[in-house]
Amino acid sequence: MKKVICLTTTLFLFVLSAMAVWAQAFPSLEAAPAAYEYAQQIGGNNVRWLDLAEVSLWASAVNAGQGAEAKAASYLDRIKAAAEELSASALPQNPKERGEAVLTFLHKKFLKSYSEFQTRVDEIFISGRYNCVSSSVLYMVFCISVGLEVEGVMTKDHAFVSVKAGSETIDVETTNPYGFDPGNRKDFHDAFGKTTGFAYVPAKNYRDRALINAAEMVSLILSNRIAVLERGNRFSEAVPLAINRAVLLSNTGGAGAVPAAQVQNVSAQNNTGNKTDFFEDPQKDLMSRLTNLGAFFIKNGKEDDAIAWAEYAGKRYPDSQRWQEMIKTAANNKLVKLIRAKKTSDARSALTVLKGKLSNENYSELDIIVLEAEAADKVNNIRNPGDSDAALAFLAQNWDRLPSNSREEMRSVAILAEADRYGKAKNWLGGMRYLADAMEKYGKNARMENAMKIMRQNRVGELHNEFAALFNKRNYTEAKTFIQKALQEFPEEKQLLQDLVLVEKALQQ
């Protein structure tokens, strides 16, 4: 479903071991045997009330855990006893009046307090708490037990029931004791919104509602339980429920079994909206639950689990695009974590292991991420002679594969790192020569030109200081010879020209 009835659902749109080992840790991908049996029992149009009751208890998880069979039998006995009591009462012959009597009976005997998340039928017998789904299913059970024809009705966030009475179809809002034919009940309108927080959709608003059969109504129990589990980050437990739900709906004539075009007019009496607007294909819903578990692994930093899950579940439920996207996302996160931890070589090794699990396109994309990190490592670790040449050679070798927005930057960084190494040795002249060669080979940019300017200033300052030391010792002849030689390096340098004028004046005195 796109929205789970009576619940607000939030979907989260990843060192591998042998698959047999992972299969023990992951949820089973096999449906419960009962799911196939129940799909046959309630998948058609003529559903027996006792079958519907039994299936609704199964969907509510009464059959799980210690003493499950005894519990299921006890709840089923309570339903049987209540059905006998209802049949033995003086029920009206008129179907409309009988439907209202069933609703009154249900609220007096079982339904005590509305609870938005209480979707399980068995809990009604324990605490009296119910929501729209659990109360609708139980109402359908008792209506069928007294010979009434009913259908489920759903909206984007709510569910209720309709009762057929001759040529008339009457809505029944099961969450409210005044909910029979609610469009004509003032007392219903006064209480419904305060009770549930959901809006009843009148029958005339056909586009906002759709009919669903008994199996689909029961499946909403599973959908709501799935939503509650996922809200609690219990994604692994949600998977078997989604598998059972898909099997349960495999024998229906609803949205999960036939093309959308065939479910737009579910009832000749009540031309409803398209069921697929509200009721998602159970197979698509199942794939969402499967991928949600993988996304949960990724969110919690368990990338290897996500990759193993994609391989394990993908064999049973193929969807190359979804599973490949999960593997790629998990692999990307794994590589990024290694790279950020400065373990680039480990990232390369991990990618090599993952290559067979990735499509060629995805592998190439991740390979570039690792390659860029490898290049950055070489560029950022220039310390010794030859390091810069090795980094520039690596960049040149992989130039066409590296992103254009980073390769120019890394080349500049490598060149400037080597220039900085010259600077730390105060070899300004050697640095200038290196930068000049680099700019001639690779082209100029502002950063290299600025580095050259600084190198020049430092070199000029160095020459001036050596001249000043000679001049201050009154070694004027030697100072003049030095400054004339310095001007051969920088003929137009103002500071050096001033030094020459100064020393010539000193010699004339």
CA–CA distance, 54 with 358 (Å, rounded to integer): 45
Least confident of 166-175, 258-267, 352-361: 258-267
What pLDDT, in 10s, does the model give residues 297-306?
Answer: 999 999 999 9
Q: Is the pLDDT of residue 50 over 80?
A: yes
Distance from C-alpha of 206 to C-alpha of 198, rounded to nearest angstrom: 17
Sheet containing 159-165: order of strands: 168-172, 159-165, 149-154, 210-212
pLDDT at 254 over 90: no
Q: To the nearest whole percent, how much of the chain has pLDDT over 90?
A: 78
Per-residue pLDDT tens for 210-230?
A: 999 999 999 999 999 999 999
**Residue 2 binned pLDDT confidence (cut-offs 50, 70, 90):** very low
Helix (H) and strand (E) counts in the chain? 21, 6
Question: Structure tokens of 385?
Answer: 């002679």
User: Residue 206: which pLDDT band, with cuts at 50, 70 and 90?
Assistant: low
Q: Tell me: pLDDT of 383 over 80.
A: yes
Q: In what helix (H) or strand (E) does residue 305 lie, and over which residues does it extend? A: helix 303-316
Q: How much is the mean pLDDT over the chain?
A: 87
- Provide the β-strand partners of residue 181: none
pLDDT tens sequence across 133-176:
999 999 999 999 999 999 999 988 899 999 999 999 999 999 99
Can you tell me the mean pLDDT for 248-267?
44
**Tokens 């068995």 label which residue?**
122
Q: What is the pLDDT, as a whole number, of residue 68?
A: 76
pLDDT at 63: 61
The phi, psi pair for 312, rounded to 5°, reads -70, -55
